Structure 1
Amino acid sequence: MSLDPENTLILETTKGKVVIAMRPDLAPGHVERIKKLAREEFYDGIVFHRVIEDFMAQTGCPHGTGMGGSEYPDLKAEFNDESHQRGVCSMARAANPNSANSQFFICFDDASFLDKQYTAWGKVVEGMENVDKIKRGEPVRDPDKILSMRVMADVQ
């Protein structure tokens, strides 16, 4: 599988490298936001604040609490047909479907009960074994973090 460098993220985490293929065909607004924040180095140093065994690892809150987001307005939901399976990346949100901002999660396992309620925007294509090593907790004590998150096109 060849990756589109403009739509591929490279995350260096405290557990190792993770590569995510983004899907602008599914969620163009969400992919655009993630790329914008990655290019601003927003995600660098942000922790995985909510990590639930057999479910998902959530990150993207600048405060590490799950209550924060970026300075940009919340996104309109782009619910799609991508099923929430192992490795799928999707946006976290509050009760309002149009409240996704910067937080996202990576599924450890089948989470198809989230389908069409959360915006899936990508999938881990390399390094899922490193995602599996992320420390669990809600909240997580001494959490793992994203050391850097870059768009592949910017690092080649």
Structure 2
Amino acid sequence: MAEIKDPENTVIIELEDGNVVIELLPDVAPAHCERMKELARAGAYDNVVFHRVIDGFMAQTGDVQFGKADADVRMAGRGGSDLPDLPAEFSKLPHGRGTIGAARSQNPNSANSQFFINFTDNDFLTGQYTVYGRVIDGMEHVDAITRGEPPASPDRMISVKVAVDVA
């Protein structure tokens, strides 16, 4: 496993095949990092499916309203949390392979709980979507997520924890 330099700003996503470790970037997008940690600590991301997974592009998840594995997954992607939407925190940080981006509607200030992990370098997203983290370990597990919009049998985040909270 990769060395965790800042446990308060590291998130561990447990998938069926193994853990994905994400280093958050609070110096780049502080509000988005805080939101991810708040929802993780509340257990809101636990059991949420990857509802939009496009080969050669990205895997999207985080719909805490409609994305629970036991819900109608076809509704996933339309909801968020009960918290207010976040203002964009765009940067020049590229949307490279393994980076975490905030999913949103056409309104740049509509990110809430949903996020995506880039399978490949998606530079065309740079400056259009907020980057707020990057995978530092377990990208092979991200690569193995079942494709589809939505996938017929979607993978899910079993649990999402802030590393400092894991005993």
TM-score, normalised with respect to structure 1: 0.98
Q: 1:14 is matched by which residue type in structure 2?
A: E
In structure 2, stretches of 5+ residues that fail to align are 68-75
Tell me how far 1:15 sits from its aligned partner.
2.6
Q: Which residue does the alignment assign to 2:112?
A: 101
Q: Distance in 1 between matches of 2:58 and 2:156?
A: 15
Secondary structure of the structure 2 residue equivalent to 1:57: strand
The yes-or-no answer on 1:76 pairing with 2:93 is no
Secondary structure of the structure 1 residue equivalent to 2:51: strand
Specify which of 146, 155, 160 is matched with residue 135 of structure 1: 146
Secondary structure of the structure 2 residue equivalent to 1:106: strand
Q: 1:45 is matched by which residue type in structure 2?
A: N
Tell me how far 1:2 sits from its aligned partner.
4.6
Specify which of 32, 35, 41 is matched with residue 33 of structure 1: 35
Q: Distance in 2 between matches of 1:20 and 1:150?
A: 10
1:15–1:134 contact (8 Å) kept in structure 2 = no
Q: Which residue does the alignment assign to 1:113?
A: 124
**Residues paired across the two proteins, number:** 156
TM-score, normalised with respect to structure 2: 0.91
Q: 1:28 is matched by which residue type in structure 2?
A: P
Percent of residue pairs identical: 56
Q: Distance in 2 between matches of 1:136 and 1:83?
A: 24
Once the two structures are superposed, residues 87-136 of structure 1 have per-residue CA deviations (whole angstroms, 9 ceiling, x without a partner) of: 00010000000000000000000111000000000000000000000000
Q: Which residue does the alignment assign to 1:55?
A: 57
The yes-or-no answer on 1:92 pairing with 2:103 is yes
Q: Distance in 2 between matches of 1:35 and 1:153?
A: 11
2:102–2:129 contact (8 Å) kept in structure 1 = yes
Q: Distance in 1 between matches of 2:62 and 2:26?
A: 19
In structure 1, stretches of 5+ residues that fail to align are none
**Aligned-residue CA RMSD in angstroms?**
0.9
Once the two structures are superposed, residues 6-62 of structure 1 have per-residue CA deviations (whole angstroms, 9 ceiling, x without a partner) of: 000011012311000000000000000000000001000000000000100000012
